[in-house]
Amino acid sequence: MKKVDSHVLASWLDNTLQAARFKDYCPNGMQVEGRSEVGHIITGVTASEALLRTAVERGADAVLVHHGWMWRNEDRRVIGTRRTRMALALKNDLNLYAYHLPLDAHPTLGNNAQLARVLGLTPARRDDGSPQTCGQDNLVWLGDATGVQTLGELGARVAERLGRQPLVVGDPDQPVSRVAWCTGGAQGMLADAVDAGVSAYITGEVSESTVHLARETGVGFIAAGHHATERYGAQALGQAVAEHFGIKVEFVDLDNPA
């Protein structure tokens, strides 16, 4: 089996995702150092106990995820579920690589880019070919929903392609032209999307205040699920790793209704 040095892999991931340019809520990159060589990676959305156990059962050397560990303002004690997860990784010599905002933002492998592909959204482009964006760290993408005329049609497309019924706030018959999207828990960026002049905004989660803002501005709002909107970046990144290094990479989709 072909293998790559674990730190060479970390460096390639860091450089590919430009991890150093983000001020994030967690450390990006290698979060746990395991065995020195990696020939088999399990990718997923979150480094949960279930994903780690799957990696151990399948004989993987590393886990690569969007949601890792050591989040800002968390209890830093190694107790409870944190102890269980860390013990699993350390006992089985697993490397853990995690990329949060860098994986959201990447122009081709990222969650926003991949959600656009899945939902048939066409990103608006700047003169240099980069996506037009707004919001914190330019995380909200702007573009058009090709082939969609109304908010109801957009909600139906999201349901069909993501395999879950989204929450749709707004008149189903209201016209949809320019749209914005940001995967995961980006409901707080609805105001940025409103300021950008869109007619609809797609993200993963919803807050109580989000509904009022959507209704009062007339911008259609779709909460399509945090997990559901962020399944695709990890898959794309894993495929890129497999192609670049020639190693085995498997994506594991553990159901999460949130």
* Structure confidence by residue, pLDDT tens digits, 188-203: 999 999 999 999 999 9
Name residues whose C-beta falls within 8 Å of residue 198's C-beta, 6 or more positions apart in sequence.
142, 178, 179, 180, 219
Identical topology for domains 4-100 and 106-229 = yes
- Structural domain boundaries in the chain: 4-100, 106-229
β-bridge partners, 38: 4
127 labelled as ligand-binding? no
Distance in angstroms (rounded) separating the CA atoms of residues 47 and 99 = 11
Q: Quick: pLDDT tens for 191-239.
A: 999 999 999 999 999 999 999 999 999 999 999 999 999 999 999 999 9
pTM for this structure?
A: 0.96
For residue 239, the Cα-to-chain-centroid distance in whole angstroms is 15
CATH level 3 topology of 4-100 = 3.40.1390
The DSSP 8-state label assigned to residue 187 in this structure reads: G
226 labelled as ligand-binding? yes
66 labelled as ligand-binding? yes
β-bridge partners, 125: 131
Q: Quick: pLDDT tens for 98-115.
A: 999 999 999 999 999 999
Going by CATH, does the domain composed of 106-229 fall within 1.20.1250.20? no
Contact 141, 201 (CB under 8 A): no
What the block records as the tokens of 198 is 């869109």
Smallest CA-to-CA distance from 255 within 48, 114, 63 is with 48
74 labelled as ligand-binding? no
